[in-house]
Amino acid sequence: MINLAYFVWLQKDQLLLSWLQSTLLSEILSRVLGCSHSHQLWDRLFSYFHKQTHAKARQLQVELCALTLDTQSVQDYLLKIRTIMDSLASIGDLVPSTHHIDVILEGLHV
């Protein structure tokens, strides 16, 4: 005997799964093949994008630490630092103000 509440939940879950799949690009859809429930698809998407975000944060942190004043103007130098800091903040990787100051000073090579 099938539990009616489970049957209703399953129908809603399959509808949600279908809707989620229809919104994905083919490159992403290939990463979630085999998901039979919406929570499985959501977990795989979260895991995939979390890894991508972590990799991007690491790349931005490396760029931030590699910046130097060199021949550019101070304004351009500070703008590049601000741009990277804003990019990090947009993906949830906030840089403490003490590190921000350290990056600025280390890039000056004084």
Taking the CA of residue 28 as centre, how many other CA atoms within 13 Å lie in the half-sphere pointing to its CB?
A: 15
Segment 48-104, tens digit of pLDDT: 999 999 999 999 999 999 999 988 999 999 999 999 999 999 999 999 999 999 999
Q: What is the mean pLDDT of residues 7-13?
A: 96
CA–CA gap between residue 28 and residue 52 (Å, rounded)? 12
Given a cut of 90, whether residue 109 has pLDDT beyond it is no
pLDDT the model gives residue 69? 93
Report pTM: 0.69
Position 110 pLDDT exceeds 80: no
Long-range pairs, 10-13, Cβ under 8 A, ≥24: 13/37, 13/38, 13/39
pLDDT score of 64: 94
pLDDT the model gives residue 83: 97
Distance CA 70, CA 72 (A): 6
